[in-house]
Amino acid sequence: MCTVCGCNDPSAHGHEHDRPHGLHHHAVGAVHGHHHNYGDGPAGLSVSGFTQERLIEIERDILSGNDDDAAVNRARLAEHGVLALNLVSSPGAGKTTLLVETINALDGSLQVAVIEGDQETANDADRIRACGVPAVQINTGRGCHLDAHMVGHALDELPLDAGSVVFIENVGNLVCPAAFDLGEAFKVVVLSVTEGDDKPLKYPDMFAAANLMLLTKIDLLPHVDFDPERALEYARRVNPAIGEFRLSARTGVGMAAWLDWIARRTHGVSFALEG
């Protein structure tokens, strides 16, 4: 998690949330067969010049402020009877294509709005708007995740009618978004079969935080070395309660189960974090 840069705290550098900020991820490498693990300490990461105690203090301060904003968002969504889903994944897993096909398949049966998170461009928001659905684009610059403060401002610009759904497409990243509650009802992690089936073990915080895992692009399974059963086994090692669907947005296979999952949670919206 990027606790050190203060990218969730505008007071850290005196800037607003849309500011660029410096690169801050520190590589963990294996050199000449040795294994260097910089995540073994109490803070879960190591940064030159910072003690473990200081890193824990920074993380606590950042997440405390974000959690306060998330609580406001959650209460607001609950008051209006709106289901918010936070979609997270690596870049290229197919979140936007999944959203476009989900919107098309719903065909107006549910009111939908979308919050798009990207470092730059409004390309994804434009794709959503082309479906006739309102979308707010959030550009994070060098920021690697959305935070609850950003999402709160985006909600100001969207219709919040009872029984509707707000999809939040987070920045493509399986690390930092895991720690930031946005006020969503459910966190949905999207894993495509063009990635490694060991991703749940390599990025355990994200899969531990997620309520549902969507295995996407399953039409490509004959052409890739990906074992869906192994991916599910690994995900349930870190999160035994995680739900799972397998689908292809391109062919429509498996989409019905995903749409039904959404529909069942918009009728008297459930805000419990269940699988």
Predicted local distance difference test score (pLDDT) of residue 44: 57
Structure tokens at 16: 């607003």
Q: pLDDT tens, 146-168?
A: 999 999 999 999 999 999 999 99
- For residue 118, the number of C-alpha atoms closer than 13 Å in the C-beta half-sphere is 16
Query: Distance (Å, rounded) from C-alpha 206 to C-alpha 173?
Result: 9
Q: What is the mean pLDDT of the chain?
A: 84
Task: Give every strand in the sheet of 243-246, ordered side by side.
Answer: 135-139, 112-118, 165-169, 83-89, 186-192, 212-216, 243-246
Q: pLDDT tens, 29-56?
A: 444 567 666 456 665 555 577 676 765 5
* Domains in the chain: ranges and CATH: 82-266 (3.40.50.300)
pTM, entire model: 0.80
Judged against a pLDDT cut of 60, whether residue 254 lies above it is answered with: yes
Residues in the chain: 275
Q: pLDDT tens, 192-223?
A: 999 999 999 999 999 999 999 999 999 999 99
Query: Distance (Å, rounded) from C-alpha 172 to C-alpha 117?
Result: 8
Judged against a pLDDT cut of 80, whether residue 24 lies above it is answered with: no
Cβ atoms within 10 Å of 269's Cβ, excluding its own: 18
Query: Distance (Å, rounded) from C-alpha 265 to C-alpha 257?
Result: 13
Predicted local distance difference test score (pLDDT) of residue 270: 40
Predicted local distance difference test score (pLDDT) of residue 9: 47
Query: Distance (Å, rounded) from C-alpha 174 to C-alpha 271?
Result: 24
